[in-house]
Structure 1
Amino acid sequence: MAELKAQNASYEMEDEFSQEQTNTQPSDTPNRPDVVVVPLSPTRKLEKISRLEKFLVAILVTALIGLGLLTISLRTTISEVEQDVSSLQENVSQGQAEVTRLQQEKNELTKSERIQKIAEDKGLSIDSEHLRKVK
């Protein structure tokens, strides 16, 4: 019986020792996921996109580039038209200044005093009652 007690004691000690080892193992090792997800390369990501989606993206990119070019073209055209308008306005203002200058010159030349002076220089007599302004 003594032998049985010694054998039982050794088994009990081994059980306690194995329980200590099992208790310490899980706390020492971190929990890791079973499956490791590897990121896909760009070519593999593109393989998952359907042809319709690729086609729609291509159309969208083409439309955006087209709109950009159209916008640039319109702005250029607007700039050219504005330049033409400003040059026409400058020509009109120069024309108006010339018209004003010529009207002033006409008014100076048609003054009655000037006409009387020229008539007297030429030896003509002018009756001031019959003198009228030329328009």
Structure 2
Amino acid sequence: MAELKAQDASYEIEDETLQEQAHLQPSDTPDRPDVVVVPLSPTRKLEKISRLEKILVAVLMATLIGLGLLTISLRTTISEAEQDVSSLQENVSQGQAEVTRLQQEKNELSKSERIQKIAEDKGLSIDSEHLRKVN
């Protein structure tokens, strides 16, 4: 039995020395990973993307570009239509101004005093009972 006690004691001594050595080593050393992860290059990242994802992204980009071009086209069309409307409104307002001017001129030319004066200048006599305004 003495032999067993001696072996047990040696293990206890070895354990104590290991613990003392562990206390002597600084515990501030960081744990480093065994494998260092290197960032992937863009080509390797693209290799990890599936074909379906690439197709979906391409379709999405094409759709966005198409919508942008469609928006620009619609805005241009709307702008042209607004310009046409404004030019037509300008023509209408010029026409209305011309109509108004011609009506005023007609009213001035068809005044009974003017007609009497022209008739007298030409040597005609006018009976004011038979004089009437023509519209």
User: Any idea what the Cα deviations from partners look like across 1:12-46, whole Å, max 9, x if unmatched?
Assistant: 6x876653331232513122334433322211111
State the AA in 2 paired with 1:131.
L
Moved over 2 A (4+): 14-21, 31-39
Other structure's SS at 1:27 match? coil
Q: Distance in 2 between matches of 1:107 and 1:68?
A: 58
Other structure's SS at 1:28 match? coil
Give the alignment of 1:90-105 within 5 angstroms.
Answer: 90-105=90-105
Tell me what 2:80 maps to.
Answer: 80
Displacement of 1:88 in angstroms is 1.2
Gaps of 5+ in 2: 1-8
Tell me what 1:125 maps to.
Answer: 125
Tell me what 1:61 maps to.
Answer: 61
TM-score, normalised relative to structure 1 = 0.81
Distance change >3 Å, CA 51–CA 15, structure 1 → 2 = closer
State the AA in 1 paired with 2:125.
S
State the AA in 2 paired with 1:73.
S
State the AA in 1 paired with 2:129.
E
Further displaced range: 17-26 or 124-133: 17-26
User: Any idea what the Cα deviations from partners look like across 1:28-71, whole Å, max 9, x if unmatched?
Assistant: 31223344333222111111111111111101101111111111
Other structure's SS at 2:113 match? helix
Q: Does structure 1 residue 39 correspond to structure 2 residue 39?
A: yes
Q: Distance in 1 between matches of 2:111 and 2:67?
A: 66
> Paired residues, what number?
125
Q: Distance in 2 between matches of 1:15 and 1:49?
A: 53
Tell me what 1:110 maps to.
Answer: 110
